[in-house]
Amino acid sequence: MRRLLALRRDQKLTTRHVQLMAESLEVTERTVWRWLSAAERDDAAAVAPGSRAQSRDRFTVTPEVRRLLALWKGNVAAVHRELTARAARQPPLAAPPPSLPTLHRAIQRDLTPGERAGLAGGEREARKHDVFLSRPRGWRNQAWETDHMQAPLLVDVDGTARRPWITWFTDCATNAITGVAVTPVHPSRESVLAALRSAVLREDPYGPFGGLPEKVRVDRGKDFLSRTVTAAFDLLDVTVEDLPAYTPHLKGTVEGLNRAVEGMFLAALPGYVRQPRPGKRASRPKDEVLLSFEDFTARLLAWTLWWNTEHLPAPLGGKTPLEAWQDDPTPLRDVPATDLWTFTLEDAGTRTLTTRGVRFRKRDYVGPWMTGHAGIQVRVRFMPHHDHRIEVYHAATGRYLGPADLADQATEEQVSAVRRARAARTRRLKKDLEASQGERYAAVTQAKAPQRLGALTTAQAEAELAQVTDTDLSDLALPDLIPPAAPPADWRTPASLAALTTPGRPVPHPSGRDGASAPDGCDGRAAPPTADEDGDAS
């Protein structure tokens, strides 16, 4: 630009010079002529052509503007209206608010794209503008990642539309899904243990993927860090890497799987909740038929098999997860299925085996193997929420003795009747949401019908049904349905009470020795007849 300015001052500047400059800077010829005019007025404009003149009173983004941007979710026009309204309440000599174009330029100049996105959409949007490093691929079973995911899909669970939860483990080196468990309601530590067993075991039907990993990355989930799960990982000699909060990029393998399963599989199923629908409010079509929980689980497991055996992830360089797994010579650490089942049970301490069985949580559990063993000390282990059965071990030697089932367990008809009564009571109290959150379903690794958890004894079922039945009858009683008969005409009955009686023939006059009318009671009606010493009514 200085050379063009010198040529113009020497009157040697031609149109060809301007054209070449415009082509090199990828601007129009008119822009170059404007820059030359500005450079003639100010030599500083020749150093940085096109830049605005710097001034000491130039508006910059203040902490107040940043707070308003966060309040209005990045809406600059709303921030400008707020600044204008605040300036109107200030004294006349206060600094005027910036204009809307000035405010736009200051935000674009002083804030990075990540800051603007973060103030508008939160930390999740701000992370999209960050730069992340990638870990080396490593070897199989070097590191696993696990996570819960609520499927954006409605399925039919016992006649109720619910969004199921998926819990899975992935191998970071091969992108293989090593284990998966599905629950109709919110998952728990039982879901984590079920998915862990399907991930570690390599026998049918779990496939060739499995073995014990060196470490597992979790994201501070209370289910993954529960006492039962951490104890199972310790017994299996697996390191648990607890990642900081709000750092999904530190477990990118499983987070990528969560995004992939929605776009590649869930979006095409009936009941998908995030599809665009006409109108302002999203609503499901009335004729939409939802998948059953069993059908959804079968389809998800089929998609998992396709992912492991046919899908070609980009990081694997044209290999499937199965091929990458088989090409890796790293030896695997296997655990027998019986030992793995023991390690993934929750310890309930020691009990004394009596003639009534094992007492656990105020209920008795019995098994056929208990004959002749009354009086020994045993240790109770159980699967969380599966209160219909416990596993019993010898307290001194740790030897497995056998399972024990709930004694006097209620029949399916009794349990169904109790659940219907509970549902009716819940609807009356308008607490459907709280009641549905309290229900528990067993996590499944194979396609099967949803199994409710929560065993009842026959006595418990009958007691609760009796209580509900009595309560219902008392609530439905209508004492004023049949009004009482009208009193005799010579009784002094208040008008307010006479209006509540049935009009018509009065009741017979109470007889006495002298035929006198009975006196009024305290409520205005005739007092009931009393017996004299001889037993006659008086």
What CA–CA distance (Å, rounded) separates 193 from 236?
A: 12
Confidence category of residue 84, pLDDT binned at 50, 70, 90: very high
What pLDDT score was predicted for residue 300? 94
Q: How many residues does the chain have?
A: 538
How far, in Å, are 7, 8, 299, 422, 487 from residue 40 at the CA level? 12, 10, 74, 87, 116
Q: Compute, in degrees rounded to 10, the torsion defined by CA atoms 167, 174, 215, 391.
A: 50
Q: Out of 105-119, 268-282, 290-304, which region has the weakest mean confidence (pLDDT)?
A: 268-282
Task: Decide which of 160 and 533 is more confident.
Answer: 160
Whether the predicted pLDDT of 141 surpasses 80: yes
pLDDT bucket at 362, cuts 50 / 70 / 90: confident
Q: Which residue has the higher pLDDT, 478 or 240?
A: 240
- The lowest-confidence range among 13-27, 99-113, 141-155, 166-180 is 13-27
Mean pLDDT on 77-93: 88
pLDDT of 76 reads 94
pLDDT for residue 537 is more than 60:
no
SS3 sequence of 103-160: HHHHHHHHCCHHHHHHHHHCHHHHHCCCCCCCCCCCCCCCCEEEEEEECCECEEECCE
Instruction: Give the model confidence (pLDDT) of 190-212 as tens digits.
Output: 888 888 988 998 887 777 899 99
pLDDT band at 279 (very low <50, low <70, confident <90, very high): low
What strands lie across the sheet with 165-171, from one edge to the other?
177-183, 165-171, 144-150, 215-218, 239-242
Position 44 confidence tier, pLDDT thresholds 50, 70, 90? low
pLDDT at 385: 65
In angstroms, the CA 80 to CA 462 distance is 68
Q: Quick one: which of 306, 285, 304 has its CA closest to 296?
A: 304
What is the mean predicted confidence (pLDDT) over 110-126?
91
Q: Please give the full DSSP string across 354-392, using - where no structure is assigned.
A: BTTBEEETTEEEE-GGGTT-TT-EEEEEE-TT-TTEEEE
Rg (the chain; Cα; Å): 39
| Cα 309–chain centre separation | 30
Look up the pTM and report it. Answer: 0.61
Average pLDDT, the chain: 81
Quote the percentage of the chain above a pLDDT of 70. 80
Q: What are 23's two structure tokens?
A: 């082509």
Q: What is the pLDDT of residue 264?
A: 93
pLDDT band at 506 (very low <50, low <70, confident <90, very high): low
For residue 406, what pLDDT is reported?
A: 86
Q: Give the model's pLDDT for residue 106.
A: 92
Task: Give yes or no for residue 395 having a pLDDT over 80.
Answer: yes
The kind and range of the H/E element at 239 are strand 239-242
What's the token pair of residue 14?
Answer: 């031609």
Q: Which pLDDT does position 429 carry in this prediction? A: 66
The residue among 113 and 428 whose pLDDT is bigger is 113
From CA 219, how far away is CA 250, in angstroms rounded? 9
The arithmetic mean of pLDDT across residues 131-147, rounded, is 89
Residues 536, 538: Cα–Cα separation, whole Å: 6
Query: What pLDDT, on a 0 to 100 scale, did the predictor assign at position 518?
Result: 43
Largest CA distance in the chain: 147
